[in-house]
Structure 1
Amino acid sequence: MKLKFILVISLMTVILYGCNKDEVKDMPANAPADQNGTQQTGDTPTDQVTFNFLEFSLDVDYSETESYEVEYEDKKTGIEAKLEDDRKNEKLQGDEAYTKLEPLFKQLNFDSTTPNDEVIDQVIKVFNIEDNYQSIEVDVEFVDGNEKEFKRIK
């Protein structure tokens, strides 16, 4: 009986550790903070976000085996970030991914009312997407609560 209990606890520990690998641990100095200098945990989305979106997902397909993917979520429990670039054999998570993505996200200035083509053109420029892509898909949840999907297929 004790062996089963130990195995279950060990398995749960491994699973919980794996779930947190994408979480950003070292918040940047310019992240929102309250008067005490700690990260904000306000009840409204605009109280705690760094960008004009809470979630950002980018999927660029170059071929069946080559893609460029970005995942970003700003949750009340923290920020999660992930970047995968098959062409450069680069896979970043957590702090490493956020450090690379933050300056790119700061250059994005579209909102939920921006037309599809303008958003895609901006993403291509900011993320330096090569022209030989097959498709681009951007999914965004904005701080105003709107969720939008932007797509371009060649």
Structure 2
Amino acid sequence: MNKTTTKVVAGIAVVAMAGALILIPSLNKSKPRPLESADAAPSETNSNTIGIANEKVTTPAKGTNHPSASGENNIDSTMTIIYKDSYKTVVLFNQDQIEALTGQVLDAASIKVVQDMLQQEDTWTAQNFSTSEANLIANAASQESNKLQSILTKITQNKVADLKLVIVHNEHHSSANFGADHREQANQNGTDLGTNTEELTTSITNFLEFELEVDYAQGQYEVDYKNYHGMIQAEIEDERSKTNTNIQGATALKQLEKVLPKLEIEKDTPKQDAISRTLTAFQLADNYKEFELKIHFPDGDQLTFKSNK
């Protein structure tokens, strides 16, 4: 090969190499990217988040569904959980929920049947309560049968909105008890007037809860005071005469503040002393048929005093 031919061939090679360098970026742009595996985790996300167009859409984590008997402010067809912490759970049942819970229509004729259903452990385990909790609740329904009957009767008469269940659960103490949630009924215009739980300040510091029920031949006298982190529930109901007296909220709290701060009942107070001091403080006669007092102290301790005549 002569010198002229060599120069021509070299020139052709240079042109070919330049053309290849121009084509390579173009080929890279047009080459399709391989599809990501369906199992590949999206970038910049955790196990419960999917990234879409630079936004994150959070999906529920697996295993976070709570049973009906856990969580705060949970509402289902059989109960409404209004309060829950590591110490206790407070649950409400309106008339429809009681019927769903027991499978019985609640009216004046069926109250006894409904009571019997509430005393069965199976009724509560069916709602995802543990066996120990179900046992506590069923026993409370049996032991508080008179109170329970009275509350159910008032619900059928629209005098009480809900049946209330309080379950105390900690390593030192477990208990359950029933009560009434005296929400005022709708007024003539159909407006819900709310509950008797209010954000109030109080001088009552010796008790977090004070529940008193004294049954007489001529009726009941009841006091219900609770302080949920500054949310105060206060109620006094007197059914001992034909004129039933019921005061709630700030009005009831004003009366209780005259009594409870001065009521000298402590953890070591003997039962008879506690009963006597309570009757004297509330100016109640001692010819009762049944007396029950439950106290929850600020340090977490509880006392229950019961007496029958």
TM-score if structure 2 supplies the norm length?
A: 0.35
Aligned equivalent of 2:195, options 1, 4, 21: 21
Q: State the alpha-carbon separation in 2 of the partners of residues 132 and 116 from structure 1.
A: 17
Counterpart check, 1:82 vs 2:235 = yes
User: Do the aligned residues in 2 keep the contact of 1:25 with 1:95 (CA within 8 Å)?
Assistant: no
Deviation per CA, 1:63-82: give whole Å up to 9, x if none. 3x610000000111411101
Residue 308 of structure 2 corresponds to 153
Q: Max radius of gyration: which structure?
A: 2
Separation in 1, partners of 2:251, 2:291: 24
Query: Does 2:209 match 1:55?
Result: yes
Change (3 A) 1:105 1:77: closer
1:129: Cα distance to partner? Answer: 0.8
**Pairing of 1:75-154 with structure 2 (within 5 A):** 75-88=228-241, 89-154=244-309
Q: Measure how far apart 1:53 and its partner are.
A: 1.3
- Tell me, in whole angstroms, the C-alpha distance in 1 between the residues paired with 2:300 and 2:251: 28
Which structure would you say has the larger RCO, counting Cα contacts within 8 Å and 6 or more residues apart? 1
Measured in 1, the distance between the counterparts of 2:222 and 2:233 equals 14
Secondary structure in structure 2 of the residue aligned to 1:122 = helix
Are the equivalent residues in 1 in contact too, given 2:199–2:230 (CA < 8 A)? no
Which residue identity lines up with residue 197 of structure 2 in the other structure?
E
Report the Cα distance in structure 2 between the residues aligned to 1:52 and 1:95, rounded to whole angstroms.
Answer: 18
Match of 1:3 in 2: none
Q: Determine if contact 2:216/2:240 at 8 Å carries over to the other structure.
A: no
Alignment coverage as a number of residue pairs: 117
SS at match of 1:103: coil
Helix, strand or coil: the match of 1:109? coil
Give the Cα–Cα distance (whole angstroms) in 2 for the partners of residues 76 and 27 of structure 1: 11
Deviating 4+ runs (over 4 angstroms): none
Instruction: Structure 1: give runs of 5+ residues left out of the alignment.
Output: 1-13, 32-49
Percent identity for Structure 1 against Structure 2: 33
Q: Secondary structure at the residue paired with 1:112?
A: coil
Displacement, 1:51? 2.3
Structure 2 unmatched runs, 5+: 1-185, 187-191
1:96 is displaced (CA, Å) by 1.1
User: What letter matches 2:195 in structure 1?
Assistant: K
Residue aligning to 1:44: none
